[in-house]
Amino acid sequence: MSNSRSFRVDARVLLSLGRESIKDHSTALVELIKNAYDADAQRVDIEIVGDDVVDPQKGLIRIADNGHGMSSADVDQKWLRVGYSEKRIRTMSKRGRRETGEKGIGRLSADRLGAILDLRSQQSPRGAVGIRVNWNDFETDGADITSVQVQNLADPKPKLPRLPNGDPAPSGTEIQIRELRQGWTSDDLNRLAVELSTLVAPGADNDDFQIWLTRPNAPAERLQSFYDASSELAFDGTFDSKGTLSYTITARSPHDPERRDIVVKDKIAWKASSKSTSSYSIGKVRVVLAFHLRSAASLAPGLSLRDLRQYLDRNAGVRMYRDRIRVKPYGDLDHPEGDWLGLAARKTRDPAGAGRTTFKFAANQVTGAVYIGRDSNKSLLDSAAREGLVQGPGFSTLRTAVLRCIQLLEGEYHRAFVAKKPVPSAPVQESVPEVIAGMKATLEGLTKQLSSPTDPRKAVEQAAARLRIATETFQRAEQRFEELANESVIYRGLATVGISSAVFGHETESALAQVKLSNGFVSEELDDEDPDLEACREEIAVANQAIDRVALWGQFSLVRIKRDKRKRTNVDVTRLLRGLVAEIKPLFDAKEISLRFSIAEGLAVRGFAMDVESVALNLLTNAYHAASLRTRARLVELKAWRTTPGNPIIKLSVADSGAGISKADLARIWDPLFSTKSDDKGNLVGTGLGLTIVSSIVREMNATADVVGKGPHGGALVEISMPSKVGSR
């Protein structure tokens, strides 16, 4: 008796790998066309034979290519060997194509299309081979796969597409499929045409692989993908292996509609998600995007509105191409996962028009493609099904990167729109205390003037009396408005705490998770007949440490809105900043971010302590987020100093070691709701209010704010200049 055994394969396994693993007949047909691409074919013909509605029993599907073909030995040792694929060993074809199929089961998709398969192939005009496969024969229960016979065809000669120069093709493969599993309606054929037209990436090398489709009662048509050059704006950018994005944005020339002008050419560093601690690691990626208005306002010459909308209905979406072959379903807006960037949801959440800084594209206004490769982007893995990629860290990084490109294009369109149609901006308004002070001064001046003994006595006395009453009224109004200003300070302080909570909250979340884990361990241990009390004590100590971390954040938050910070006073900036640094430093330490500080003695301003603290805290929060995204040494530095002895200007600066701020974003960072922060899934997050709060406070303090995209530590540098005016109002 043998010491070993071997697997046997049931014949029905082919049904699971073929017919039962592919969701529809279009996907199955595309799998067979990919085989023609891998075979170095220059042309593949698809013919659907039948009436207007293809009857399953009478219809026929024919696929023929002029690739390298197969010999009789290839059919026996490769095609009929389930799971075999030499593409795992030889990844590049003779024509330099990165081959797509590596599982060795793509040919089984023919079973999804029909019961009978006739395969004819040749590597030379004299070496034709033909076989017939009846997939229904594999449905027998208990039959071994080797017991199902495949018959040779009496006429093995294939009918192949000609070469591009018109010569007969010396090699290639022809497949005919009969006894179809389902019919083909006109809608099915239209969807197939759209899918095949986008199978190969658009570009100048499309002639290298031509796809021709012949429908019932119609001539053959060539299907190919292209992107209309008449878009409002077009984006073409490439992330290198380190994540640096080099890109250009072009627009139609106002003087020559056939020409496109470069309106932006820039290079920016990678920005990861707010929680990620890893650097960019998915490899080189190219992103090509185009934005269309879907209106007659900006049609290119010779293009009707109907043509534009038909084009967008067919091509809208950001597709993904790997080694020139499309990865479904990305970019198919009718598919649940087709809008993989969430453009529709973004627009629904914030439907602002182009005149607003938060303007976002609608999903059906964008066409585009993302180009990746199996060898250059190894962290982007195939899902277990025949469609899509594994939605792991690599996919999240890719999604974040492409959304960043979308955001850059949106920002440029907003700027161009405002430049063409300036949106009236609200006049710069004085603060409420300034308005009241001005009116009060005017009335006091009139009172003195009318009280002059040179004026007629009676009239002057009456006017002076009325004005004294008015002055008292405005003094009361000033007091009330001061109270309202104090409330505004509280709201700004609370908003700042909320913004910081979103950033630092990850530490609290992990601490609470640790408490829950420790409590669960202790509970289980105490339920045991012989509990390990020492282990319980150790676990309780771990939980207490986690609770201390939560308490630390709670104490930090509550201190921010103390009553004594809500009054306009002479603010001891030195003391305030040193206290803030001492309280916030443990939160930075938990993220392994070095917080350096240099705060001069004797710094003071007139204002609200909560406002000064809100400015510093918002800047530190942004720096914390930026620095946490880097794997290199993480650093945030805060400085506060007086410019020169006796100079009434106090400087406050915060610099970080993050990715910095791109030129495209420098003009928008103060805008309400504008944010570049994203989560682990690539969704753009952040309130976009932090720097808006800073800007509001800076205006009220008669201060100024300056931003440098690349500061001394590689990231952004923000510098606030405040008047050092101490005294009573």
Look at residue 508 and tell me whether its pLDDT is greater than 90.
no
Residue pLDDT, tens place only, 169-179? 999 999 999 99
pLDDT single digits (tens) 136-162: 998 888 888 888 889 999 999 999 999
Q: Determine the pLDDT at residue 171.
A: 95
- The single-letter DSSP state of residue 231 is -
Residues 6+ apart with CB under 8 A from 445: none
Residue-wise DSSP of 315-360: H-EEEEEETTEE-TTTT-TTSTTT-TT-HHHHHHH----TTSTT--
**135 against 556, higher pLDDT:** 135
Q: What is the CA radius of gyration of the chain?
A: 35
Burial (CB count <10 Å: 0-12, 13-18, 19+), residue 102: middle
Report the chain's mean pLDDT, rounded to a whole number: 78
pLDDT digits (tens, 9 = 90+) for 603-612: 999 888 888 8
SS3 249: strand
Q: Sorting pLDDT into bands at 50, 70 and 90, what band is 276?
A: very low
> Could you tell me the sign of the dihedral formed by the alpha carbons of 696, 697, 701, 702, in that order?
negative
- pLDDT-based confidence at residue 461 (cuts at 50, 70, 90): low
Nearest CA to 399 out of 268, 226, 282 is that of: 282
| Cβ burial, residue 153 (10 Å; 0-12/13-18/19+) | middle
Nearest to 120 by CA among 65, 181, 164: 65
Q: Give the β-pairing of 649-656 and 717-723.
A: antiparallel
What pLDDT is recorded for position 257?
66
Q: What are phi and psi of 474, to 5 degrees?
A: -70, -30
The Cβ of residue 270 has, within 10 Å, a number of other Cβ atoms equal to: 20
Between 51 and 481, the more confident residue is: 51
CA dist list (Å): 382 to 102, 105, 378, 664: 11, 15, 10, 34
Whether the per-residue pLDDT at 458 is higher than 80: the answer is no
- Predicted confidence band at 492 (pLDDT cuts at 50, 70, 90)? low
Quickly state the pLDDT bin for 405 (edges 50, 70, 90): very high
Name which of 18-27, 153-162, 188-197 the model is least confident about. Answer: 18-27
The predicted structure's pLDDT at residue 68: 93
Task: Please tell me the predicted confidence (pLDDT) of residue 255.
Answer: 72
30-34, 416-420, 516-520, 681-685, range with the lowest pLDDT? 681-685
pLDDT digits (tens, 9 = 90+) for 370-392: 999 988 888 888 775 557 888 88
Q: What is the pLDDT of residue 505?
A: 52
Contacts of 323 (CB under 8 A, 6+ apart): 97, 98, 100, 373, 374
* Residue 291 neighbours by CB under 8 Å, 6+ apart: 231, 232, 233, 234, 361, 365, 366, 409, 413
More confident call, 506 vs 581: 581
Give the three-class secondary structure for 176.
Answer: strand
Q: What's the whole-number mean pLDDT along residues 473-490?
A: 52
pLDDT in tens, 416-430: 888 876 545 444 444
What is the rounded distance in angstroms from the CA atom of residue 300 to the CA atom of residue 336? 32
Q: How confident is the model at residue 277 (pLDDT cuts 50, 70, 90)?
A: very low
Least confident piece of the model among 315-319, 341-345, 588-592: 588-592
Range name among 400-404, 511-515, 520-524, 527-531 with the lowest pLDDT average: 511-515
- In this structure, what token pair is assigned to residue 545? 């440490």
* Averaged pLDDT for residues 253-270: 83
Per-residue pLDDT tens over the stretch 648-664 = 889 999 999 988 888 87
Q: Which amino acid does the sequence have at 685?
A: V
Average pLDDT over residues 451-455: 55
pLDDT (0 to 100) of residue 212: 94
Q: Are 318 and 372 spatial neighbours (Cβ–Cβ below 8 Å)? A: no
Using the predicted structure, report yes or no on whether residue 563 has a pLDDT greater than 50. no
* Best CA proximity match to 607, nearest among 728, 479, 438: 728
DSSP state of 560: T
pLDDT over 50 (residue 729):
no
Please answer whether residues 276 and 326 qualify as being in contact, where contact means their C-beta atoms are separated by less than 8 angstroms: no
Cα–Cα nearest to 575, from 616, 606, 604, 615: 604
The pLDDT of residue 342 is above 50: yes
pLDDT on residue 386: 59
pLDDT tens for each residue of 592-649: 889 999 999 989 998 888 888 888 988 998 888 888 877 668 899 999 998 876 668 8
Cβ atoms of residues 407 and 350 within 8 Å? no
Q: Is the pLDDT of residue 349 over 60?
A: yes
Which token pair is 322?
Answer: 């790997």
Residue 566 has pLDDT above 80, yes or no: no
Mean pLDDT of 534-558: 65
- pLDDT, tens digit, for every residue of 294-338? 776 666 666 677 777 777 878 889 999 998 888 888 988 888 788
Which residue has 């024919």 as its token pair?
62
Cα 177 from Cα 34, distance rounded (Å): 17
- Is 412 or 690 the better-scoring residue by pLDDT? 412
Measuring CA to CA, which residue among 292, 288, 297, 314 is closest to residue 233? 292
Q: Report the C-alpha gap between 716 and 362 in whole angstroms.
A: 31
Give the range among 117-121, 218-222, 334-338 with minimum mean pLDDT.
334-338
Q: Which helix (H) or strand (E) holds 514?
A: helix 457-527
Laid out side by side, the sheet with 43-49 consists of 151-152, 128-134, 114-122, 172-180, 60-65, 43-49, 210-214, 221-223
Q: Does the pLDDT of residue 398 top 90, yes or no?
A: yes
